[in-house]
Copies of this chain bind each other. A is one copy, B any other.
Amino acid sequence: MASDSLHVTDQAALEELKAFLRIPSISTLPEHADQVRLAANFVRDRLTAAGMQNVELIEAPGRHPLVYADWLHAPGKPTILFYGHYDVQPVDPLDEWLSPPFEPTVRGENIYARGATDDKGQTYIQIKAVERLMQSNQGKLPVNVRFLIEGEEESGGEHIEAFVASGDKRLQADAAIICDTEMFAPELPTLCVGLRGIIYGEIHVETAATDLHSGVYGGAAPNAIQAAAEVIAALKDRDGRIAVAGIYDRVTKPSDKEVAAWARLPFDENEYREKEVKVSALTGEPGLDVFERTWARPTFEVHGIRGGFVGEGAKTVIPARAVIKVSMRLVPDQRPEEIAALLSEAVRKAAPRGARAEFKLLHSAPPSLVDPDSPFLTKAAEVMTEVFGRETVYIRSGGSIPIVGTFNQHLGIPSVMMGFGLPDDNLHAPNEKFYLPNFFRGIDAVACYLTRLGS
């Protein structure tokens, strides 16, 4: 698809998306707070332009605002709650980006920018779908619609969590629509019915009051980074099994029917390893296939270790402190607070002689599963099949969308995860992209789905 073949309205949508992507709304970096707010304002303004009502920013002290909007003039019809997020991941390592992360650039059929898929592009699908329906139906929608777009999905989501838990009447709805997942393969319409949960935190390791000279004290003083390495190595064995007592106790195996459906998905493990993951060997628990390992098993990952000397050249210091960024992905029926407690205990026990190690939880989200036989799911599958011209598949995702569990717990509604990302979209990595045909088919699919729900 050359961009000069786009319809006039498509070009307008693309230009609007680019404007959205130019805002460096990295919610995890405090110095970007102003830009995060600019992105909230952008969403507010575009919802207003689309014809939504009661558009407002919902504030909380020290938090990035929620953007709320509604249109509730379809009595007797279902009420749909759209969820998305306008914040994005950090961009480091910056030097690996082929074009700057906040200068959206179309190359071939993709648009490259931080947030292109996750989740500005997919959030914008929802806004444009509603706008299109409004424009073609004299300002009316086939169902009642609410929007709740957050700015802290990549940094813990405390604001939306508290707001949804507060029982605010504006969130009454029959189902949520979330466009923040990916298709299993290009051209293969996909509904995601399961998500892993997460606990994210830091392991603090301390050995001494100050850093020490490795010549003078090497051989007698404990080393905090050596201790950190020993703690990490103790928490996961070299085969990929998490070595935390009790961690697998509540893990539920996927049903035979689900496993059989996964086995029918188009998948070549060698191609996945070489072309997508780009590694010399896949890892993880022995005896389980890739889908089970990435969708239905918990993980323990280290994201980085701070401490000691990492600059250019040589500094011969015995580090006194190390901070290890870690997370665990959780699966049904693991409970975040229980897993955090098990990890805390295992961390304490793993500290070698002369070191103290402590796990500090930063945020968490429960895992979730959606009933694939709900009419909200089956109608979504019908529409996706029509738009893409192929049978819709049901998958799970290894990622965490905490709001799905929150909606289920506090609003009692299912979340329909219609995702339009692709597996090679480089989420959370350099050169994030969105496949532009999916941006436009996404708008079609969401608009058709609302029409189907209202018919």
Contact = CB atoms under 8 A, between A and B. Distances in A.
Given A215-B196, A329-B218, A398-B219, A430 B210 contact: yes
Contacts of A427: 213, 216
Interface string A95-122: 0100000000000000000000000000
A423 B426 CA distance: 52
Contacts of A198: 215, 316
A210 B209 CA distance: 36
Contacts of A309: 90, 92, 303-304, 325
A200 B305 CA distance: 20
Interface-centre pick from A89, A226, A323 (highest chain B CB count, 10 A): A226
Sort chain A's interface into a size bin: 35 or more
Oligomeric state, in copies: 2
Interface in A160-211: 182, 196, 198, 200, 207-211
A216 B294 contact: yes
A218 B301 contact: yes
Interface stretch (A280-288, A369-377, A381-389): A280-288
Contacts of A240: 219
Contacts of A283: 220-223, 352-354
Given A216-B399, A221-B279, A317 B428 contact: yes
Interface-centre pick from A215, A236, A426 (highest chain B CB count, 10 A): A215
A29 B327 contact: no
Contacts of A294: 216-220
Contacts of A228: 229
A290 B220 contact: yes
A304 B319 contact: yes
Interface string A411-429: 0000000000001001111
A75 interface: no
Contact of A238 (B230, B304, B316): B230
A212 interface: yes
Contacts of A92: 309, 311
Contacts of A143: none
Contacts of A325: 308-310, 314-315
Contacts of A280: 207, 354, 356
Contacts of A49: none
Contacts of A222: 279, 281-283
Contacts of A423: 216
A181 to B, nearest CB: 10
A99 to B, nearest CB: 15
A53 interface: no
A154 interface: yes
A302 interface: yes
A312 interface: yes
Contact of A96 (B210, B305, B308, B329): B210
Interface of A: 28-30, 89-90, 92-93, 96, 154-156, 182, 196, 198, 200, 207-223, 225-226, 228-230, 232-234, 236, 238, 240, 277-285, 290, 293-294, 297, 299, 301-319, 323, 325, 327, 329, 352-354, 356, 362-363, 397-400, 423, 426-431
In the A-B complex, list the 8 residue pairs whose CB atoms are closest, starting with the nearest.
A215-B399, A304-B308, A28-B313, A219-B293, A229-B232, A233-B233, A218-B299, A209-B278
